[in-house]
Structure 1
Amino acid sequence: MTRPPTHALLGAVCLVMIAFPALAHSGDGYGGGFVAGFTHPILGWDHVAAMVAVGLWGAFLGSPAIWILPVVFPLVMALGAVAGIIGLPVPAVETGIALSAVVLGFMIVLALRPPLWIAGVIVAAFAIFHGYAHGTELPATVNAFAYAVGFVISTGLLHLIGIAFGLLVRWPAGRMAVRGAGALISLAGIAFLTGMA
């Protein structure tokens, strides 16, 4: 009689122990909060457009903006989420989210290069609206910390997608492609703003 390898048996035990508790604490169909938070930005096209735009604009501006803007956004977004969770009033949240895509897209289309601190303030201001929306839509049955970690990680991944595409600015044709993507993001923002999307 042959015995299974020890590492295979240990791996199977670990999988069983990890998988079942996650399924046992689901809220609104999502496991424990992390998955709900992770999917919240990527299931909303208004969030996707703005978050990809942050990475695109950072790549367009180059170093150090390429890394600073995608760090500023999720940090301030987390503060906005806290404001939403505790119920602080923030007016025109959906308008602010839609305007973030419009403005950030136009910055890319027009190849605007403001000083880094101004770019940071613009990104931070819009991050408040996105975070507030995440905070107010926190499902009652999930862990708020896990939810926040989830939406911060997915936001970072969306920024990385924007950065990866934005690196095309090194070539003339790529620069035009990035500015074209900025135009699409702005148009999407206008559609969100006018209720066409």
Structure 2
Amino acid sequence: MKSTWVFGMGLSLFSTLALAHPGHDMANAYAGFMHPLTGWDHLLVMLAVGLWAGRIGGKARWQLPFTFMLVMVVGALAGLSGMTLPGLETGIAASVLAIGLLIALHVPFARVLQIGIVALFACLHGMAHGAELAAHNGYAVMLGILAATALLHASGLLLASRQLHLAQYIHRVLGGMIALAGTYMLLA
């Protein structure tokens, strides 16, 4: 009897919040952290930025992810203030398609153009985040989003690492898969 009670109390430590009424979503840093990990559009672009930066190599390994995170915050602030763009979701889906093609085709660009492309994508994603955060504790949620973004960029950099035996093939395959996902998002 006592062991059953102790076991039940132990399980209660691992329970999640009851979300019986609205207002719990996107209310803290954890919700912000989970947001990019549970939305395919954000997850794929953030992973792809790291993958593209790793494929380019050199200073791009830190410049592209840093640019993305910085401009995403600026875009989120714009979204928080009520700014929006027509067709924002279409632009986000197009960013998934475009970065997938950039990775798969490995077309060389000047660094300033690479940074500009990443900044455009980050601004779109940031504005979407900001618009979603307007009714919540935006700063705590944004910290969570930034942490998840950094993790996804690092994961992409790891996938692009030359130490992986499949690195030369994985770029094209992942880039193609990301581009296909972007195409699906645009058509759906």
The TM-score bracket by the shorter chain reads: 0.7 to 0.9
Distance 2:48 2:24 in 1: 30
Provide the rounded CA distance (Å) in 2 between the counterparts of 1:154 and 1:170: 23
What is the match of residue 8 of structure 2? none
- Evaluate the alpha carbon distance shift between residue 177 and residue 31 of structure 1 in structure 2; reply closer, same or farther with a 3 A threshold: closer
Given candidates 166, 176, 188, the residue that maps to 2:169 is 176
Question: Alignment identity in percent?
Answer: 40
> In the TM superposition, what are the counterparts of 1:1-197 in structure 2 within 5 Å?
28-29=23-24, 32-138=27-133, 140=135, 142-168=136-162, 173-195=166-188
One-letter amino acid matched to 1:152: L
Q: Secondary structure at the match of 1:167?
A: coil
Q: TM-score, normalised by structure 2?
A: 0.83
8 Å CA contact 1:36, 1:150 repeated in 2: yes
Is contact 1:102-1:189 (8 Å) kept?
A: yes
How far, CA to CA, are the matches of 1:111 and 1:32 in structure 2? 39
**In structure 1, C-alpha distance between the alignment counterparts of 2:143 and 2:47, rounded to whole Å:** 18
Q: Counterpart amino acid of 2:181?
A: A
Q: CA deviation at 1:120?
A: 0.3
Gaps of 5+ in 2: 1-12
Looking at structure 1, the residues matched to 116 and 134 of structure 2 have their Cα atoms a distance apart, in angstroms, of 30
Q: 1:94 to 1:85 in 2, by over 3 A?
A: same
1:13 corresponds in structure 2 to: none
How many residue pairs are counted as aligned between the two chains?
A: 170
Structure 1's 85 and 31: CA in aligned 2 closer, same or farther, altered over 3 A? closer
The runs of at least 4 aligned residues of structure 1 exceeding 3 Å deviation read 27-32, 168-171
Residue 74 of structure 1 deviates from its aligned partner by 1.0
TM-score by length of 1: 0.80
Distance 2:76 2:26 in 1: 20
SS at match of 1:114: coil
Instruction: Assess if the C-alpha contact under 8 Å between 2:26 and 2:133 holds in 1.
Output: no
Q: Distance in 1 between matches of 2:132 and 2:33?
A: 13
